[in-house]
Amino acid sequence: MYQLGIVRRNIPRADRAAVDRLAQFGSATVHEAMGRVGLMKPYLRPIYPGAHVAGTAVTVLLHPGDNWMMHVAAEQIQPGDVVVAACTADSDDGFFGDLLATSFRARGAKGLVIDGGVRDVKDLTEMDFPVFSRAISAKGTIKATLGSVNISVVCAGAVVNPGDVVIADADGVVVVPAARAQQTADAAAAREANETAKRARLAAGVLGLDMYDMRDTLAKAGLKYID
Amino acid sequence: MYQLGIVRRNIPRADRAAVDRLAQFGSATVHEAMGRVGLMKPYLRPIYPGAHVAGTAVTVLLHPGDNWMMHVAAEQIQPGDVVVAACTADSDDGFFGDLLATSFRARGAKGLVIDGGVRDVKDLTEMDFPVFSRAISAKGTIKATLGSVNISVVCAGAVVNPGDVVIADADGVVVVPAARAQQTADAAAAREANETAKRARLAAGVLGLDMYDMRDTLAKAGLKYID
Amino acid sequence: MYQLGIVRRNIPRADRAAVDRLAQFGSATVHEAMGRVGLMKPYLRPIYPGAHVAGTAVTVLLHPGDNWMMHVAAEQIQPGDVVVAACTADSDDGFFGDLLATSFRARGAKGLVIDGGVRDVKDLTEMDFPVFSRAISAKGTIKATLGSVNISVVCAGAVVNPGDVVIADADGVVVVPAARAQQTADAAAAREANETAKRARLAAGVLGLDMYDMRDTLAKAGLKYID
Amino acid sequence: MYQLGIVRRNIPRADRAAVDRLAQFGSATVHEAMGRVGLMKPYLRPIYPGAHVAGTAVTVLLHPGDNWMMHVAAEQIQPGDVVVAACTADSDDGFFGDLLATSFRARGAKGLVIDGGVRDVKDLTEMDFPVFSRAISAKGTIKATLGSVNISVVCAGAVVNPGDVVIADADGVVVVPAARAQQTADAAAAREANETAKRARLAAGVLGLDMYDMRDTLAKAGLKYID
Amino acid sequence: MYQLGIVRRNIPRADRAAVDRLAQFGSATVHEAMGRVGLMKPYLRPIYPGAHVAGTAVTVLLHPGDNWMMHVAAEQIQPGDVVVAACTADSDDGFFGDLLATSFRARGAKGLVIDGGVRDVKDLTEMDFPVFSRAISAKGTIKATLGSVNISVVCAGAVVNPGDVVIADADGVVVVPAARAQQTADAAAAREANETAKRARLAAGVLGLDMYDMRDTLAKAGLKYID
Amino acid sequence: MYQLGIVRRNIPRADRAAVDRLAQFGSATVHEAMGRVGLMKPYLRPIYPGAHVAGTAVTVLLHPGDNWMMHVAAEQIQPGDVVVAACTADSDDGFFGDLLATSFRARGAKGLVIDGGVRDVKDLTEMDFPVFSRAISAKGTIKATLGSVNISVVCAGAVVNPGDVVIADADGVVVVPAARAQQTADAAAAREANETAKRARLAAGVLGLDMYDMRDTLAKAGLKYID
């Protein structure tokens, strides 16, 4: 249950080195490395091709059509953070634009993940300020109601705690709990090493059926070949 | 982040007396009593008119098209529980039908809230087994992959911890953390008492503009009347 | 373009007798009688089976998640009115519930058409207060921003001017400009008379192909029968 | 690929006795009896509670906003048929109303499944003429473009051949190829017999975990119980 | 209410100089300059990155799946116009492609805003003919039913009168009534000047909290900081 | 009705020369050349700008969240094929990524059309491996349930038989039955030749009204010009 009207100032952040290691992997790899959990819903999309970001979460809870808390959040940003904004109800309004991006960047933010809309996407693209949003909309917002900053939020279906690692790219947005950053980076590295070898074999024409030894299992499941 | 393959057997449940008190209020009243938080997304709808339920949550994490964990959950149900089923990705398949409802009821379950589809709705209606779901679909599911039972889940956008109070009716589904059940019931009762008086005045023709003293604030905000 | 912060007090309403005549027809008949225009989008649905309403429009322009103007609108209601609420952006929040319904009814309102969400639907059903909405949601709203009352609005894709006739039933919501109420009622009556005769012939087994003389046109268009 | 401008007059229909047997089962049971295939997408919904129908398909291919072919289809209806209407593009317009229902019924039609919208739902409900549709809309349609009648169509994601059996109820719409009607009825009967026994055991408190012997498989898959 | 079968030939257009001034601003700025109204729904999207257009509206009312009126509209285009196409019901069909774009451009059109689908997007992109649409679809349309040209239409939720100014870019599509073009351009210029100064301060690390003097209001609203 | 657990090894493929000819045309042209049928729903979109593909279909039937059959399909690919993957229920999960693309390409596949989600889109873009999908999602899939390979499937609303020609580009995905490849290529060539002449006339300022002789028909339909 959300607590409203709260700003947590001192949050533990995931280990910087682990974040840097995780930043080398794509969201799909990290999602697999976590055991296929931690993914936000796929309706969150990058606002420009090639947008990608990795960092520690500063969380914001917004109300529909109200971006007041974004300004409160700005003050809590530290270099390397990614702002993660949730909303108490679905809203496609433009909660964020180039002025807030300028402010967030000045504070050291690396990007934004928002379960809402954004605007000024041409400017954001030129700034190369990566944003992952549910919508793009010129619709402005008001500043009337208290949400919270740095509480645990549900953003696009995933729980995000302040300080968690957020990895976002063209495939989606994945959240790694701060306490699991290191081991997830290890698992991702192992998975990627493994995939490199597999990729080479597949490129050489080896079939997944053989590489993964699937033929017997498929036959036992009853698969029939017809000529 | 979801832990997979876990069943928690002994969960603390919200105080029964507090649940019974909360059961007397509608979801809208309880949502307001919590300070307008705790609500699941409005795409969850009752499968028949008049369906309503209040109880303590037994949570289930499902995978799309796979209802294996529903059977695991059945064993963890105690009288007065409501099963709350989340899914790792959006799926409208029919995870639940009259056989599972029979089993759940035999264990004492009062209803189901599921971020997925259900089937056998004619039977469920005749049983008066209340279900709140995102879809109705005859599509069957498999039993192949481990989820979890009685972990913290995100269901239709709201965090549900095992043992939390769930109130569902025609207006939606609201979650009250177990630790706040008593005080939320108090706030709901106060709110409802307050509303009864207001309802009488409004029915007598008093305007909200006057009853809530809005005229000055509206004028200050710049509202203009034109004849 | 919407003017904000305006309440028009004296609006011309469609002729009562014409409204009463229109009230006898369904929305589909009236829509056809207008030449197949004037219909709101089909996502507006009645909140209970059998809900239907006809009356003159008092219009409201809301902002997402803010129902302040509903209270302002209440004062402008006269007996026989239907409140038509539009919103400056899509919002499923519960802008309206049983208290406002009590107030609206006390003022003489016959129902509500809202391009937004409503709550307390059990109470509204028991009151038999007809509402057509885009969603049902327990989510509460704030009172912070000025919209307008009795301006021309776009509700679910249709322009509604204050005083226009609104006809809503299970098939949808149709708007008849005040100045065309009488002639539309005439056209609807003519259409319905015509349909009664047709219905009898079709019930007797006459085919539409013959009753509407379609066979030649179909043949000319190239329709081929294959045995 | 659709052939346009074709009406097939003599179509083989599924065996009447088999259809009658299938009519006794729900769509979920029949879908399972077919091996979990043959289901239309769950966005098709009955237009009134309790609507259900079983019969042999007369198929229609419509164009968006054009119901001309519905009149052509009427002539091809034989007692016991269900009209299945597909559309070349998504359209929520009201292709069907009480006049066509009167005509269809006069020809012996038992109901309609349409991947489009319908209107006059109050009348259709009073007639108890079962319709399963993607939308309800008062929007009228034109008669301008040739589609086809009794060709193979894709309706809500499922292939329907003329003469196939269509079973529709609150859980959805399932299609049984004419040639498999008898064996599917057998499988459905077997399944239902089996479920009756299971239901009794579950009602008596036996767990699915035990009844289906799942405990070992779950343990092997790695399920952990925590106290 | 739409009048069908009408083409208005001589429409007053917004002042060219004012249009040229407005063309320098983005849709978000213009929307704010109008007091946060006049915006079309955000489901309208540019068909290629970088598409943007500003001009005076020639309006078209289409029927679903029918683009006949687009040809009628072509004749009414004058240099500097933007065609704005509405539809009497939602339709994703491809109403517009490279041939119509060639014709529109030959007449002086600067672009198209359509509450429907378009096709030939590769050609349109190569032509750099900006289009904002609700969908992309290869589906062809017919020419069978009269709509209108240069009547007042509702396009993606916004009223557009012929001759109004339309500003469309990556953030959305905004409509400025012809009579307000000049003053909106003034307001937009003032806003943009103001934003430049703000941007510099924010880039220098000043917080919005301080620049907008929000701290007191937030504290009064009850915001609590926790260490 | 889908047959599950079947792999057809020897499928007749459309004539290579006809496929090569069809590959020169866009999907909109081919769709028109077929008489405006054969199109998949427009929710299938290319995963990167400029993606386009033409080839012969190897079909796959998947279950939601399960990509096992993709590996079975790989073995059936021959140079020039396009894999067309359908699913028994809507699922946005990432069924396909760079490893499968590497394998498919090694077998000679030219691309993928999938009524589901894909991932690794950055890699797929760099590989220039064209994919048309309903979603992009990092969500991984399991390998648990048998579907089929090279059966007739319904993909995004269109029937695809193994060996059919699939043409996909920015406008959509169209399916040409193998037996009609040659005549469709002829019709497409005729259409395109015809369009070149039209394009030149339209570019020179000739109106479609005149070029298509529409003025009389419009007048007869009742179109009125108002000055």
Question: Predicted confidence band at E146 (pLDDT cuts at 50, 70, 90)?
Answer: very high
Residue B128, number of CB atoms within 10 A of its CB: 11
**Taking the C-alpha atoms of D195, D201, D204 and D207 in order, what is their torsion angle to the nearest 10 degrees?**
-100
Across chain F, the runs of DSSP E, i.e. the strands, are 6-8, 45-46, 53-62, 81-87, 111-118, 131-136, 148-149, 153-155, 158-160, 165-169, 172-176, 224-226
Whether residue D227 lies within 8 A of chain B, CB to CB, comes out as yes
Distance between CA E222 and CA F10 in Å, rounded?
72
Tokens at F120, concatenated: 């690794």
E/D Cβ contact: 3+ pairs below 8 Å = yes
Nearest to A85 by CA among A138, A17, A133, A140: A133
Distance between CA D91 and CA F41 in Å, rounded?
12
∠ CA E161-E163-E169, nearest 5°, is 90
Q: A91 contacts in C (CB within 8 Å)?
A: 64-65, 89, 91
Tokens at F9, concatenated: 């090894």
Whether residue E3 lies within 8 A of chain F, CB to CB, comes out as no
Residue with the two structure tokens 């989820």: B147
The answer to whether D169 touches D27, Cβ cutoff 8 Å, is: yes
Residue B193, number of CB atoms within 10 A of its CB: 10
Distance between CA B56 and CA B71 in Å, rounded?
18
Does residue C1 surpass a pLDDT of 90? Answer: no
The answer to whether D159 touches D153, Cβ cutoff 8 Å, is: yes
Nearest CA in chain A to B42: A89
Nearest to A114 by CA among A67, A50, A56: A67
Distance between CA F162 and CA F57 in Å, rounded?
5
First vs last C-alpha separation in chain E: 59
Write the pLDDT tens digit of every residue in C91-129. 999 999 999 999 999 999 999 999 999 999 999 999 999
Write the pLDDT tens digit of every residue in F184-198. 999 999 999 999 999
Q: What is the pLDDT of residue A128?
A: 98
Instruction: Please state the pTM of the whole predicted model.
Output: 0.97
Phi-psi region of B163 (alpha: psi -120 to 50; beta: other; left: phi over 0): left
Distance between CA F59 and CA D209 in Å, rounded?
37
Distance between CA C192 and CA D97 in Å, rounded?
13
Annotate chain D with three-state secondary structure.
Answer: CCCCCEEECCCCCCCHHHHHHHCCCCHHHHHHHCCCCCECCCCCEECCCCCCEEEEEEEEEEECCECHHHHHHHHHCCCCEEEEEEECCCCCCECCCHHHHHHHHHHCCCEEEEEEEECCHHHHHHHCCCEEEEEECCCCCECCCCCEECCCEEECCEEECCCCEEEEECCEEEEECHHHHHHHHHHHHHHHHHHHHHHHHHHCCCCHHHHCCCHHHHHHHCCEEEC
Considering only the beta carbons, identify the residue of C38, C88, C159 that sits closest to E159.
Answer: C159
Q: A9 contacts in E (CB within 8 Å)?
A: 225-227
The answer to whether B158 touches B51, Cβ cutoff 8 Å, is: no
HSE on the CB side for F13, CA within 13 Å?
Answer: 22
Tokens at E152, concatenated: 């007042």
Does residue E1 surpass a pLDDT of 90? Answer: no
Amino acid (one-letter) located at D189: A
Pairing of strands C53-62, C148-149: antiparallel
Q: What is the pLDDT of residue A77?
A: 98
H-only helix segments in F77-139: 98-107, 121-127
Compute the average pLDDT of residues D75-104.
98
H-only helix segments in F9-168: 16-22, 27-33, 68-76, 98-107, 121-127
Nearest to D83 by CA among D52, D114, D62: D114
Do C89 and A139 lie within an 8 Å CB cutoff?
A: yes
Residue C126, number of CB atoms within 10 A of its CB: 11
Tokens at E125, concatenated: 């992109």
Distance between CA C128 and CA C112 in Å, rounded?
12
Does residue A170 surpass a pLDDT of 80? Answer: yes
**DSSP summary character for residue F47:** S
Distance between CA C153 and CA C133 in Å, rounded?
16
Question: Predicted confidence band at E64 (pLDDT cuts at 50, 70, 90)?
Answer: very high
Nearest to F169 by CA among F27, F39, F41: F27
Do F1 and D88 lie within an 8 Å CB cutoff?
A: no
Residue B9, number of CB atoms within 10 A of its CB: 11
H-only helix segments in chain B: 16-22, 27-33, 68-76, 98-107, 121-127, 181-203, 208-211, 215-221
Annotate chain A with three-state secondary structure.
Answer: CCCCCEEECCCCCCCHHHHHHHCCCCHHHHHHHCCCCCECCCCCEECCCCCCEEEEEEEEEEECCECHHHHHHHHHCCCCEEEEEEECCCCCCECCCHHHHHHHHHCCCCEEEEEEEECCHHHHHHHCCCEEEEEECCCCCECCCCCEECCCEEECCEEECCCCEEEEECCEEEEECHHHHHHHHHHHHHHHHHHHHHHHHHHCCCCHHHHCCCHHHHHHHCCEEEC
Residue C3, number of CB atoms within 10 A of its CB: 15
Amino acid (one-letter) located at F138: A
Write the pLDDT tens digit of every residue in F139-185. 999 999 999 999 999 999 999 999 999 999 999 999 999 999 999 99
Nearest to F177 by CA among F188, F192, F193, F166: F166
Nearest to E140 by CA among D140, C219, F219, F174: F174
The answer to whether C102 touches B204, Cβ cutoff 8 Å, is: no
Whether residue B146 lies within 8 A of chain F, CB to CB, comes out as no
How close E72 gets to chain A, by Cα (Å)?
32
The answer to whether D31 touches B140, Cβ cutoff 8 Å, is: yes
Mean pLDDT by 10 residues, chain B (227 residues): 94 97 97 96 98 98 97 98 97 98 98 98 98 98 97 98 98 98 97 93 97 97 96
Does residue A162 surpass a pLDDT of 80? Answer: yes
Nearest CA in chain D to B119: D171
HSE on the CB side for A204, CA within 13 Å?
Answer: 9
The answer to whether F188 touches F20, Cβ cutoff 8 Å, is: no
Q: D135 contacts in C (CB within 8 Å)?
A: 42
Distance between CA E64 and CA D66 in Å, rounded?
9
Per-residue pLDDT of chain F (227 residues; tens, 9 = 90+): 799 999 999 999 999 999 999 999 999 999 999 999 999 999 999 999 999 999 999 999 999 999 999 999 999 999 999 999 999 999 999 999 999 999 999 999 999 999 999 999 999 999 999 999 999 999 999 999 999 999 999 999 999 999 999 999 999 999 999 999 999 999 999 999 999 999 999 999 999 999 999 999 999 999 999 99
Compute the average pLDDT of residues C151-166.
98
The answer to whether E209 touches A110, Cβ cutoff 8 Å, is: no
Q: Please compute Rg for chain E using Cα positions.
A: 20
Distance between CA A175 and CA A158 in Å, rounded?
8
Write the pLDDT tens digit of every residue in A13-42. 999 999 999 999 999 999 999 999 999 999
- Return the partners of chain D (3 or more C-beta pairs < 8 Å): B, C, E, F
How close B197 gets to chain C, by Cα (Å)?
10
Mention every residue, 6+ apart, whose C-beta is less than 8 A from residue A62.
A69, A70, A85, A86, A87, A88, A91, A95, A116, A147
Whether residue E169 lies within 8 A of chain D, CB to CB, comes out as no
Distance between CA C90 and CA C116 in Å, rounded?
7
D/C Cβ contact: 3+ pairs below 8 Å = yes
Write the pLDDT tens digit of every residue in A126-138. 999 999 999 999 9
Dihedral sign (CA D62, D66, D72, D73): positive
Write the pLDDT tens digit of every residue in A38-83. 999 999 999 999 999 999 999 999 999 999 999 999 999 999 999 9
Across C63-145, the runs of DSSP E, i.e. the strands, are 81-87, 111-118, 131-136
The full length of chain F comes to 227
ipTM over 0.90: yes
Does residue C151 surpass a pLDDT of 90? Answer: yes
Q: What is the pLDDT of residue E156?
A: 98
Whether residue C127 lies within 8 A of chain B, CB to CB, comes out as no
The answer to whether E85 touches E160, Cβ cutoff 8 Å, is: no
Nearest to A147 by CA among A31, A61, A45: A61
Does residue A1 surpass a pLDDT of 80? Answer: no
Compute the average pLDDT of residues E165-188.
98
How close C51 gets to chain A, by Cα (Å)?
27
The answer to whether B144 touches B68, Cβ cutoff 8 Å, is: yes
Q: With pLDDT > 70 as the criterion, what percentage of chain D qualifies?
A: 100
Q: What is the pLDDT of residue C218?
A: 98
Residue with the two structure tokens 């092997």: D220
Q: Please compute Rg for chain B using Cα positions.
A: 20
Q: E139 contacts in D (CB within 8 Å)?
A: 88-89
Q: F90 contacts in D (CB within 8 Å)?
A: 41
Task: Report how far Cα A199 is from the mean position of its chain's Cα atoms.
Answer: 26
**CB interface of A with E, residues 187-216, below 8 Å:** none
Q: What is the pLDDT of residue F1?
A: 78
- Alpha-carbon distances of C162 from C19, C87, E160, rounded to whole Å: 14, 16, 19
Distance between CA C8 and CA C72 in Å, rounded?
11
Does residue D223 surpass a pLDDT of 90? Answer: yes
Q: Which of F166, F201, F207, F216 is the best mutation test for E, with the most CBs of E within 10 A? A: F207
